[in-house]
Amino acid sequence: MKKKISLSVLLLVVTLSIVVLKKASQETTDENPIVAANVEALATGEGSLIKCYSIGCLICPVNGVKVAYIKE
């Protein structure tokens, strides 16, 4: 009888621990709007000003295709 009670208490503790940890995990993964704005602001500056034209022997740094002219 004592083993059944001990096992039940242990099962209850494990179940509650899983629920609490899962809830804490969900709270930390919710996206913060300030963080999203910062990521967007940083990503905006990543656009390339390099233009590649025609077919040739130079490798375009934008897409790796062989081109004749590269204009910065």
3-state secondary structure of 61: coil
What are the backbone dihedrals phi and psi of residue 11, each rounded to the nearest 5 degrees, phi first?
-65, -40
Mean pLDDT of the chain: 82
Identify the H or E element spanning 58: strand 51-59
The alpha helices in 1-72, defined as continuous H runs, are 2-29, 33-44
Is the predicted pLDDT of residue 44 greater than 80, yes or no?
no
Is the predicted pLDDT of residue 37 greater than 70, yes or no?
yes
pLDDT tier, 16 (very low <50, low <70, confident <90, very high otherwise): very high
b/e per residue, 10-19, with b = 16+ CB within 10 A? Answer: eeeeeeeeee
pLDDT digits (tens, 9 = 90+) for 17-36: 999 888 877 665 556 777 77
